[in-house]
Amino acid sequence: MRVTFGIDVSKATSEIAIVVNGQAVSHFKITNNQPGFNKLQKSLNDFQNPEIVFEATGLYSRRLRVFLDDYGYRYTQLNPLASKKQLDRLRPNKTDKNDALHLAETQFEIRRALTYQQDPIYQQLLDWSRFYDEITCDSVANKNRLHKALQCTFPEAEGVLNSPTGHLYWHLLQAFPIASMVRQSSSMELSQHIRKFCQLSVPNSQALAARLRQLASESYPCVGEDSGVVMQVRYLATELLRLDDLKNDIIQKMARLAQDLPELAILESIPGISVNTAVRLIGELGDIRRFTSANKLNAFVGIDLRHFESGEYIAVDHISKRGNPYARKILYRTILNMMVSARTKPSHINDYCRERKKQSSGKADFKKIAMGAISRLNRTIYHLILNNQKYDYLKTRPKAES
């Protein structure tokens, strides 16, 4: 006897359809909480080796997935796009009840593979990675607000350091949000204040203090010291300091979580990948061993090519962008880091970029080069993790060169 449970998950409830040997025998609704899951468990215990299939619906299906994992049930979690393609022919009347039934019925025809069971640590790392990304977005928004507010109080302050960002810059704005406050302080006081927040020598701190005083003497604020804009600058500088510290704390927590995973050391062995990038890649990509090929890893990231041709027309190939946009962004920045550090940390990925640049017609081709480099990086990561090997540049070079 073969039994399938089709589950259509909504925000607060789930529709359950039970099909035995191709015939629907039961249908009921549960709430997505402890009482509802207890009801589902009683039904599951009535059968031997029930097959469970449901569609991933983001956070709503996560509680169901954790319940099934906790009690040792194997299941098939469908990608929404795959589910749509499989069920479109059966959906003349789409309802949650029908969707649950169709999921259970089609299991007899399609024989879907069981979902790979990842260690829970990968989900924890993913949660931290997404939190890190949200904080980064908040930091970018606050930097933009700070730039706007400074135009009224001390716009020249953005030129005091090489770039208007970082702890020292924000500490200076926290203490001196308007040019008039700098003018009221002596060079010695400014120099001492600077040394509180960074390890600069006395001559360097004095030079920076002189630079700050020079910029303040040239500034012409359009508000007074009692203005709300001054308080806004100080608040935003304080908030940016707090968010930056929080980001560092998150990376440290992620590093501690991932320290026993072999892929952490493997990823860090690749030139251009720091611990920050490594732990975030592990969080976003999950257990790479679940992919049966590097092409599937590329598809998960969304850099697999889409090809279209009709008659004599052949469209230019583009990446699908249907995968994980967070992982795609991290990988893109990793390629940039590899190119910047190529002189001291050579890699075959950078060799590829350099050769392609020579053949390219201009800047318009850079993104294509970067996507090709990401594909090669994914293949490298996939091979190294599956074989539990660290990166060795010499092994990637042709024998004639090495």
The CATH number of the domain where 16 resides is what?
3.30.420.10
Average pLDDT of the residues of the chain: 90
Torsion-angle region of 72 (φ positive above 0: left; ψ -120 to 50: alpha; else: beta): left
Tell me, yes or no, whether 141 and 247 share the same domain. Answer: yes
Looking at residue 400, its pLDDT comes to: 46
- Mean pLDDT, range 210-228, rounded to an integer: 94
Nearest Cα neighbor of 307 from 316, 299, 298 is 316
Instruction: Identify whether residues 147 and 164 lie together within a single domain.
Output: yes
Question: Cβ distance 200 to 226 under 8 Å?
Answer: no
Asked if 32 contacts 13 with a C-beta cutoff of 8 angstroms, the reply is yes
326: left (phi over 0), alpha (psi -120 to 50) or beta: alpha
Determine what percent of the chain is predicted with pLDDT higher than 90.
70
Same domain (yes/no): 209, 136: yes
Q: Is residue 115 part of a domain?
A: no
Q: 117 lies in a domain?
A: no
In this structure, the answer to whether residues 291 and 380 fall within a common structural domain is yes
Segment 103-116 shows an average pLDDT of 88
In total, how many domains does the chain have?
3
Burial grade of 190 (CB within 10 A; 0-12, 13-18, 19 or more): buried
- Of 255, 287, 313, the domain-final residue: 255
Residue 303 has pLDDT above 80, yes or no: yes
| Banded model confidence at residue 129, pLDDT cuts 50, 70, 90 | very high
Let me know whether 238 and 223 are in one domain. Answer: yes
Residue 116 lies in a domain: no
Q: What is the C-alpha separation between 51 and 44, in angstroms, rounded?
A: 9
- Is the pLDDT at 312 greater than 70? The verdict is no
| 269 and 245 within one domain | no
Strand partners for 28: 16
Q: Are residues 241 and 152 in the same domain?
A: yes
Domain shared by 332 and 377, yes or no: yes
Per the structure, the complete domain to which residue 361 belongs is given by: 262-396
Nearest to 331 by CA among 364, 361, 288, 290: 288
Phi, psi dihedral angles at 80 (to 5 degrees): -55, -40
Element (H, E) at 276: helix 275-285
The pLDDT score that the predictor gives to residue 5 is 96
223 inside domain: yes
- 188 and 106 fall within a common domain: no
Q: What is the pLDDT of residues 259-294, one digit of tens each?
A: 999 999 999 999 999 999 999 999 999 999 999 999
Lowest mean pLDDT of 39-48, 162-171, 291-300, 310-319, name the range: 310-319
Q: Which residue, of 226, 255, 284, is where some domain finishes?
A: 255
Predicted local confidence at residue 97, as pLDDT: 87
Strand pairing class (51-55; 76-78):
parallel
- Kindly state the average pLDDT of the residues 212-224: 94
How big, in percent rounded to 5, are the helix, strand and coil portions of the chain? 60, 10, 30
pLDDT-based confidence at residue 402 (cuts at 50, 70, 90): very low
User: Quick one: 201 and 149 in the same domain?
Assistant: yes
Residue with tokens 């090669």: 376
**Cα distance between residue 337 and residue 69, in whole Å:** 38
Give the pLDDT of residue 95: 81
pTM confidence score: 0.88
Are both 250 and 268 inside the same structural domain?
no
Same domain for 135 and 226?
yes
Residue 363 pLDDT: 57
Kindly state the tokens that stand for 296: 């599937």
pLDDT of residue 278: 97
Whether residue 402 is contained in a domain is answered as no
Task: Please say which residue of 110, 144, 171 terminates a domain.
Answer: 110
Of 268, 319, 344, 340, the C-alpha closest to 353 is 340
